[in-house]
Amino acid sequence: MTQQTVYVPEVYQGQFGEFTLTEGDRTGVIIYRTGLMVAALSFAIGSALVVLNNNPNFQLLTPLYACFSLALGVSLLTIHIYMAFLHRLLQVCWVIGSITAVILALSSSTPLAVTIYTQPLTLLGVGFTFVALTGIYFKEAFCFNRLETKILTPIVPVLLLGHMLGVLPTQGEQVLLGLWAILFVVFATRKAIQAIPPDIGDKSVFEYLKAQRLAKV
C-alpha cells in the first residue's frame, strides 16, 4: 500500500497571533496578479498603437480599454489591503470611472479614446479609474519598495492632470505614456514571479481589524 502524504500548512507568526494560508488565499493572489497582467498588456498594446503609429486605429482602443478596465476591476476585488476603507474607496473610484467610460462610449459619435483626448474634462469622470490604479501602485511601492511603482505613482497624475490642464506638449505626453506602459508591464511581470505569501500579508491583522469592526457594531 502506498502511503499518502498529508499536507500540513505552514504556520506564520503575525502581529496578533499565528495564522495559516489556505488554497483560497493563494488563488486570490493568483487572480489579483492575472488581472494586473491582463490590464498591463492591454494598456501597453493600446499605448503602442498610439505612440508608435502615426495613424492609429482608435476603434481598436475601445475594446482594449474595456479589457484593461475589467481586469483592473478583478484585481481590485482580490487585492489585500489592511485598511478596509481604502480598499472600498479604490473600488468606488473604479466604478465611477467605469460607468463614465461606458456612458461616453455609448453617447459619443467618436471612439472613446478620441472623445477623452479632445475633451480633457471627461477625465474628471474617467480619471477615477486611474485614481484606483494609482492606489495599487502606491500600495505596492509602500509595501514592497518597488522602484517601478515609485515612478508610476507620480507619472499617472502628472500625465492626466497635465493633459486636462493643457500644460504638457504632445511629445511630452507620448514620452510619459510610453514610460507608463513599459513600467506597468515590468511591474506586472515582477508580481507574477514574486512569492505568494507576501501578497497575502499578515492575516492576523485582517482578523484583528474585522473583530474590531464587529465589536463596534
Position 207 in a domain = no
Query: The whole model's pTM is what?
Result: 0.89
Type of residue numbered 59: Q
pLDDT by residue, tens only, the chain of 217 residues: 455 554 456 766 656 656 677 888 889 999 999 999 999 999 999 999 999 887 888 899 999 999 999 999 999 999 988 888 999 999 999 999 999 999 999 999 999 999 999 999 999 999 999 999 999 999 999 999 999 999 999 999 999 999 999 999 999 999 999 999 999 999 999 999 999 888 877 667 767 666 666 666 6
Position 215 in a domain = no
Helix/strand/coil (H/E/C) assignment for every residue in 26-52: HHHHHHHHHHHHHHHHHHHHHHHHHHC
Q: What is the pLDDT of residue 57?
A: 85
Domain that holds residue 105: 25-200
Residues with Cβ within 8 Å of residue 63, at least 6 apart in sequence:
none
Number of domains in the chain: 1
